[in-house]
Structure 1
């Protein structure tokens, strides 16, 4: 059992006790944090472990939210079928976009994902007959999994926590599997991986599709929480914020994006009530993190803790030195 798994277990226990320590406002805020934390962890699959920085990740998040709303309210599908169909549509979109984006790497990859994300935003904003444009679409009511009502703040929080815990566990298994090792190898030494017989493009594409799938799951949580979806869900600002969460907390770590999601969500929803220019505060936090902890908050604090650990005790100077070898007679 690794230290990361123990830390995640302790965090899960703490999260389970949250509703007994807070009022409905902060319980709902914690549900929102879980949604965005899963969103950030999904992006970290390609950013941290795959080395592919994307500025269009909100596309799959928003497509799932729009699709489940349309399938349930317009097509008349039930909640479960609508959710499966929405995740399928978003994952299929990620598969197609991955084929297009992975034709390039580095800055070119970033710009292609940005362009694809803007195309999705343009469709959501301009195709009024399908998405109702800037007015958005209303989701009538939350589902009732296994007949359990999740309309209350506490019940929806536990529903979000279960979905989040299962999703993160699966992602953790993927990251620590041979596929995860291959993905990190494709990030660090792509030429060597090709020489060893690995299909680097296919590894990256599979990670891209997985990332889109989990972003779609986060999109379902988002629309169940908000009961509303608008073009903001697929906007560039949404993609930039989730990328900020990932980098701020620490890419290539499982807990880093979660920490980043907590900080960004609290600044947006709590600090904004006290500070008028909360965007500047968020920017200041990010700048300070980049200057003092360029690898992110979680890796940075781990490094600080390891430095404070006492070093190994020096050898006893009073101990008898080993006997010197006798000089050879000339």
Structure 2
């Protein structure tokens, strides 16, 4: 079966979720889809550019805070606040990328961590803007074309449609000539440079693109919760999305989605029974690395290929 047909069948199946489950599972589905978008944004850096970031939560958090501040403090409607939020977050991502890409490897990782911690510290200390540890609340959801997004089913379909568009765009991007050049900078940076490619510019464009998709996830996040707290900018949030990408399979389209779903499920179910649920998450990650070093999706593909080869 062709990937396009499989994708359409999966989309149709997910669209039927509200018809076969209750509100709790619909809201859980919305959270999963937001996590899928967020993981896909980081995958552009980790999987396709070979740049491991430990501060990617900054873009989700910045987007959420900017949207909340524009709505609550300036009184802007969603039609104006949403594009301004995406523009501002992406611009900040461009500046952060300009700083972080001055280094590589471990230094790049530490720079992304440091930049995200600066944003996290501002969220806690700049109380006149962020309301500090109390966070910003009292937000509403948009109502495009008069559709009431306060309804859980309507919001789920809204998030599902945006997730489908994001994955389609990311898929087209990574399979384009730019995607090929991006993978080239990951595998053979010196050779790409000797061939005349501007490695820094290619990586910076990927960084900006990842910031934009992360900002989309941040908008959906703040619309869903109608509240934002500095914890969304924490190292834990960045580590969780990085774990999603690595566990699912970096450098694949389906891998980060599978990893994000796994992490959200563990957070929502394991935390109800285990106080230190992060320990279980760590144990699951260790198991995945030992059994499937390249991630769940590549590991499953390898097993299926071996099974077919054995039958042949």
TM-score (norm 1): 0.92
State the 1:236 CA deviation. Answer: 0.9
Aligned residue runs from structure 1 range 72-221, under 5 A: 72-221=71-220
Query: Match of 1:322?
Result: none
CA contact (8 A) 1:36 1:261 kept: yes
SS in 2 for 1:309: helix
CA separation in 2, counterparts of 1:26 and 1:158?
13
Query: Match of 1:247?
Result: 246
Aligned residue runs from structure 1 range 9-20, under 5 A: 9-20=8-19
Of Structure 1 and Structure 2, which has the larger fraction of its residues in helix?
2
State the 1:147 CA deviation. Answer: 1.1
SS in 2 for 1:217: helix
State the 1:140 CA deviation. Answer: 2.3
CA separation in 1, counterparts of 2:67 and 2:286?
37
The CA RMSD over aligned residues, in Å, is 1.3
Structure 1 residues 86-95 or 302-311, which shifts more?
302-311
SS in 2 for 1:140: coil
CA contact (8 A) 1:267 1:282 kept: yes
| Unaligned 5+ runs, structure 1 | 314-330
Give per-residue Cα distances to partners, 1:7-61, cap 9 Å, x unaligned.
3333212211111121100100000000011000000001000000001111111
SS in 2 for 1:142: coil
SS in 1 for 2:49: coil
| Unaligned 5+ runs, structure 2 | none
SS in 2 for 1:48: helix
SS in 2 for 1:270: helix
CA separation in 1, counterparts of 2:106 and 2:204?
17
TM-score (norm 2): 0.97
Give per-residue Cα distances to partners, 1:210-246, cap 9 Å, x unaligned.
0000000000000000000010111111111100111
Give per-residue Cα distances to partners, 1:83-129, cap 9 Å, x unaligned.
11111111001000000000011100000000000000000011001
